[in-house]
Amino acid sequence: MIRSVLLAALLLTTPAIAQDQAVSGKGAVLRGLDKVNGQTVDVQIQTGGRAEVFGLTVDLADCRYPAENPTGDAFAFLTILDTGQTNVRFQGWMIASSPALNALDHSRYDVWVLRCITS
C-alpha cells in the first residue's frame, strides 16, 4: 500500500514525466534473474501478451514512455504469478529507472523493465 502511494506521488510530481505526454509502446523488454545460479534472460512481450521468465508467468498490460524521448524512462504495468499457480506475486507499475521502487518480492526470481518496444 505504501509503495503504491509513493509510486503514485512520484508519477504525479516528477517533472520529466509531468511535462511529457506518455505514449504506449507495442510491448516491453524485461530482464529476469535467477538469484540462485545468477542466470539472466531478456524477454520481449507484446502489450496484452504473456511470457515465461524462469518459473514465473508475466502478463504485460501496458508499457509507456515519454513522447518527446522514446529512449527515456519506461514504465510498464505487469502481473506476475508463479507458473501454474493462481496467486498473484506482483501487480502494478514498474519503472525502468527505479526498479526497486515497486519491485517483485520473490525469494528466487527477480524481474524488471528495461524499455518499451517502440516500433
Q: Compute mean pLDDT per 10 residues along the chain, 119 residues long, and list them.
A: 61 53 92 95 96 95 88 90 92 91 91 91
Q: Among positive and negative, which fits the CA dihedral 51, 55, 61, 63?
A: negative
Q: How far apart are CA 38 and CA 64, in angstroms?
A: 29
Could you write out the DSSP letters of every residue in 46-85? ETT-EEEETTEEEEEEEEEEETT-TTS--EEEEEEEETT-
Q: How far apart are CA 46 and CA 29, in angstroms?
A: 9
Predicted local confidence at residue 77, as pLDDT: 97
Provide the residue ranges of all domains of the chain, joining segments of one domain with +.
2-117
Is 87 strand, coil or helix? coil
State if pTM tops 0.85: no
